Structures are given as C-alpha cells and as structure tokens.
Amino acid sequence: MKLLGLSGSPAKKSSSRTLSAVDKALSFAKAYDETVHARSINIRDLDVQFCDGRDPALYGGDTKEVIDQITDADAIIFGTPVYRGSYTGILKNVFDIIPNNVLVGKPVGIVVTGSTQHHYLAIEHGIKPLLGFFHAHALPGGVYAHSNHYAENVLVNEDILERLDQLAKALVDFTKLIPADRNILVGASGPVIPWESLLKGSHSP
C-alpha cells in the first residue's frame, strides 16, 4: 500500500508542526501494517510552480513529481496549518495543479494544526469541501493539533498522538476496503471541466 503524506506548511522542515504530525501518522500506519510504504512530501521543499491553468500533463520537474506522487498513491494524508481560518496557499496551489480525476475514490486523512483550539472546524469547512469537489473519500475524523500540544515543536500530547494513531489505522483499513476500480462507490460524476489552456485553444504555458 502506497501511503503519501503531503504537508502544506511553508515553514522549514525542522520547525513545521504540521509536517511532524503528518510524519507521526505515517509512522503509525507503518507500525500497524508492514505492507505500508510511506513517503512524505513537504511541499515547501520542492520547486512547485504556481498553477497557471495549463493542462496538468504539461508541468515538469517537481510539479510533475508532486502530481505523479498524488496520482500513484493508494491513500493520502493531507496536512496543513490553519492560515486565516483555512488551508495554506501552497497547499491550495497543489489542489489547483492536479488533474480533476486523480483523487476520485481515494481514501484521504486530514491533519491540521493551528495556534489555538479555535480553528478546529477548518477541517470541516475548509478542507473537506475541497476534497468533496475531487470526489475523494475523506475519513470523517481528522486530527487537529495546536500549539499547546507541542513542546519545542515536538508533538507530545498523548490525546493527539492517540488520534493520529486512530487516523492512521482507519486509513489503512479503509484503503483495503476500497475496490480496485475507485470510480465505483463515489456516486454521481461531476461536470467535465476543461482546463483553461484547453478552453483558450492553447496547450503551451
């Protein structure tokens, strides 16, 4: 099982609370099931281009790498800090870049960090609707951690660690239940939305 953790914090790897929570969840998943091959991507460390409306197949380099990893994954954990009550711009950019169909029927776990408890509902109001557009299977229970759960950017709160473990195990179990053809069991398709470049009749960036 290919499990991808994608963390959308613009903070450095060494200081990102979000990345450390995502990585913790990945390690719980690996400990739970030895068939799990986990990889984490800290978007900030890659040279991901801004979405400019081109056909996603025309991106190269790190942008293509991120698209390919998302496409290839059997399940994904998306992590983001709360910025102004929602997900970060660099994570949104990834959602702007990926093809419309790559998350269809894909099991997804959500990990969010904030500075206080106030923005717990960013999971429900920010991230889940976006995943809904993509017809992904977002696990109902995401994990929200805030500053008090960390000591020197190390996640120490036992409740949050337990929740990350629950999230990881549920994601692994759920992924096994998903049929090989992920297009079934997702309900009605959305409208076909052409890329901006195709609408303009131009395939070049």
Regarding 115 and contact with ligand FMN (CB under 6 A), the answer is: yes
Nearest approach, Cβ of residue 121 and ligand FMN (Å)? 11
Q: Is 48 exposed, middle or buried (0-12, 13-18, 19+ CB in 10 A)?
A: buried
Q: Exactly one of 48, 75, 82, 127 binds ligand FMN (CB under 6 A); which one?
A: 82
Nearest approach, Cβ of residue 77 and ligand FMN (Å)? 14
Stretch that binds ligand FMN, among 31-39, 83-91, 172-180, 186-194 (CB under 6 A): 83-91
Q: Exactly one of 78, 113, 127, 136 binds ligand FMN (CB under 6 A); which one?
A: 113
Q: Per DSSP, what are the bridge partners of residue 42?
A: 7
At 71 the three-state DSSP class reads: helix
Nearest approach, Cβ of residue 185 and ligand FMN (Å)? 33
- Rg (alpha carbons) of the chain, rounded to whole number: 17
Q: Which of residues 138-167 bind ligand FMN (CB under 6 A)?
A: none
Number of residues that bind ligand FMN (CB under 6 A): 18
The region, left, alpha or beta by phi > 0 then psi within -120 to 50, assigned to residue 201 is: left
* Site pattern 6..25 for ligand FMN (x: CB under 6 A): ---x-x---xxxxx------
| Cα–Cα dist 109/77, whole Å | 4
In the chain, the N- to C-terminal Cα span, in Å, equals 35
- Let me know how long the chain is: 205
Interface residue list for ligand FMN (CB under 6 A): 9, 11, 15-19, 81-85, 113-116, 118-119
